Amino acid sequence: MPTFSSPSFQLWAWPVALAVLTASGLLSALVSDGWGDVWSWFALGLPVAVMAWFGLRSSPLQKA
């Protein structure tokens, strides 16, 4: 049985969490109104913000 300290879980935990967040945002945008629209904006914007954050920050390997 896999544990939370396994390398596989540590590697895939955040990508799976962002995928679930994106899927819930897409589903919410398709079928709901009102607060569902707010949730869809948040759920679809947060993964984009995370990707921008990690894409734009400089890594120590690029400074050499």
Q: What is the pLDDT of residues 5-48, one digit of tens each?
A: 788 888 899 999 999 999 999 999 999 999 999 999 999 999 99
- Let me know if residue 28 belongs to a domain: yes
- Contact criterion met (CB below 8 Å) for 29 and 7: no
The sign of the CA dihedral 13, 17, 20, 26 is negative
The candidate with the shortest Cα–Cα distance to 28, out of 17, 44, 14, is 44
Nearest 5°: the CA angle 54, 57, 61 is: 100
- Let me know if residue 4 belongs to a domain: no
- Let me know if residue 37 belongs to a domain: yes
Q: Domain tally for the chain?
A: 1
pLDDT category of residue 60 using cuts at 50, 70 and 90: low
- Which backbone phi and psi does 3 adopt, to 5 degrees? -115, 170
pLDDT category of residue 53 using cuts at 50, 70 and 90: very high
- Let me know if residue 36 belongs to a domain: yes
Range(s) of the domain holding residue 34? 13-51
- Let me know if residue 45 belongs to a domain: yes
- Let me know if residue 2 belongs to a domain: no
User: pTM here?
Assistant: 0.74
41: which DSSP letter? H
- Let me know if residue 25 belongs to a domain: yes
